[in-house]
Amino acid sequence: MTNLAVTDLHKGFGSQPVLTGVDLEVPAGSLTAILGPSGSGKTTLLRVVVGFERVDRGEVRIGGKVVDDGDRYVSPEDRSIGYVPQEGALFPHLTVGRNVAFGLAKSVRRSGVVGDLLELVGLRGWGSRYPHQLSGGQQQRVALARALAINPSLVLLDEPFSSLDASLRANVRADVQAVLRRSGTTALLVTHDQDEALSWADHVAVISEGRIGQFDTPHALYSHPKDAGVARFLGEANLMPGTVGADGVRTELGVLVLETWSTVPASGRVTVMVRPEQLELSTEADGAPLAGVVREYQYFGHDAVVKVQPDAGPADARLVVRINGGTPFVPGTRVGVRARGPVLAWGPADPLPEPA
């Protein structure tokens, strides 16, 4: 069963188109993330769904009922959508309890529902505090309780974790996910952070330039990106031209084995993606298909990223290599680069995307 269905949605501001034909179906009870870079239109999509903006063209259905098709329009207050904005936006003039109770009918407010909701988000007993007395994570959880109070058919979360400290973010994210699963709520999360999208959601919709580029499970999305743009956005990727031959694909890294599901012609030019973790470095250049110079070394403890300038090619070209943290590579060191495992490639129509 589908809870939210968006069909051919167009929305622009003035002469500037923002959404250009979005199609999206969110199954009931699932957690879906909308992943996209700044300016891709993901917040606008959310605002259209909740009813703060109206569609220019297309249709939005919630639970099968049309809420906006450019003609018919249901006000936000009649859509029963729980909305959790970026900053939580708790009403500063109301206590936590009254914030949560805001959307409840008067008759329900005293019935202990508020206490139960606070319990659900782990804040029982905090009802008489004011928002400014809470930490950022607590505020987000109250905002979620407030959104859940109206027993929504759908909860929308607009980058709700981005303002939290990194240390706090993962915990709050997990808490929110747990609450939503427990209550069986359908939820749509907007984010620009691919780790967040991949780890949080059942499905991820990648949005770019006003359209949904790909809608899939996190695993399928990461391993089978539809095109170079999606691939680039889901983590770092080295993209390079290649030529398909009988033995595989010929690239500057030598002849590489193609993934079986690569959609490429039997021969001709293609775009090849090599993930950084697929590359290996050696200090002796002998035998390696590509030689280069280390230009950058970033150490992360569990691993490290090395950026290598190939000898052949322009001065600003870089290959990104992810290695175990063990061996430091001083910039200037000469290295050899080797790829392992099968690689993905896309057909000739796909030009190399600009780095995000």
Give residues in contact with other proteins (CB under 8 A): 13-14, 16, 38-39, 43-44, 50-54, 75-83, 85-94, 102-103, 131-132, 134, 136, 139, 146-147, 149-150, 158-159, 162-163, 192
* Largest interatomic CA distance in the chain: 79
Residue of 152, 196, 142 whose CA lies nearest to 49: 152
Nearer to other proteins by Cβ, of 149 and 304: the residue is 149
| Residue closest to 57 by CA, chosen among 18, 96, 1, 28 | 18
Task: Give the shortest CB-269-to-other proteins separation in angstroms.
Answer: 36
CB of 31 to other proteins, least distance (A): 19
Complex with other proteins: residue 88 or 218, whichever CB lies closer: 88
Pick between residue 38 and residue 167 the one whose CB is nearest to other proteins. 38
Please say which residue, 134 or 240, places its beta carbon nearer to other proteins: 134
Q: How far is the CB of 132 from other proteins (least distance, A)?
A: 4
Residue 73 has which token pair?
């329009």
Query: Of 190 and 323, which CB lies nearer to other proteins in the complex structure?
Result: 190
- Least distance CB 83 / other proteins (angstroms): 4
Q: Find the shortest distance in angstroms from Cβ 325 to other proteins.
A: 31
Nearest approach in angstroms of CB 26 to other proteins is: 17
- Do 22 and 5 touch, CB atoms closer than 8 A? no
Cβ–Cβ under 8 Å, residues 269 and 349: no
Count CB-CB contacts under 10 A for residue 239. 20
61 or 307, CB closer to other proteins?
61
For residue 184, what is the enclosing H or E element? none
Cβ closer to other proteins: 16 or 324?
16
- Closer CB to other proteins, 53 or 227, in the complex: 53
**7, 59 Cβ separation under 8 angstroms:** yes
C-alpha 106/C-alpha 94 separation (Å) is 16
Kindly state the helix (H) or strand (E) to which residue 97 belongs, with its residue range: helix 96-100
| Strand runs labelled E in 258-310 | 268-274, 279-282, 290-299, 303-310
The helix or strand, by DSSP H or E, that contains position 321, with its residue range, turns out to be strand 319-324
Distances (CA, A) of 339 to 67, 226, 273, 320: 51, 22, 11, 12
Is 81 in contact with 148 (CB distance < 8 Å)? no
- C-alpha separations of 79 from 47, 194, 209, 221, 321 in Å: 12, 29, 27, 31, 48
* Closest CB 235 distance from other proteins, rounded Å: 20
Min dist CB 32 to other proteins, Å, is: 18
In the complex, least distance from residue 354 CB atom to other proteins, rounded to whole angstroms: 19
Cα distance between residue 349 and residue 338, in whole Å: 27
Considering beta carbons, is residue 10 or 338 the nearer one to other proteins?
Answer: 10
Strands 334-339 and 31-35, by their bridges, are: unpaired
Composition of the chain by helix, strand, coil, percent to 5: 25, 35, 40
Please name which of 18, 28, 103, 12 lies closest in space to residue 62, comparing C-alpha atoms.
28
Residue 215 Cβ, how far from other proteins at the closest point, in Å? 21
- Of 16 and 260, which CB lies nearer to other proteins in the complex structure? 16
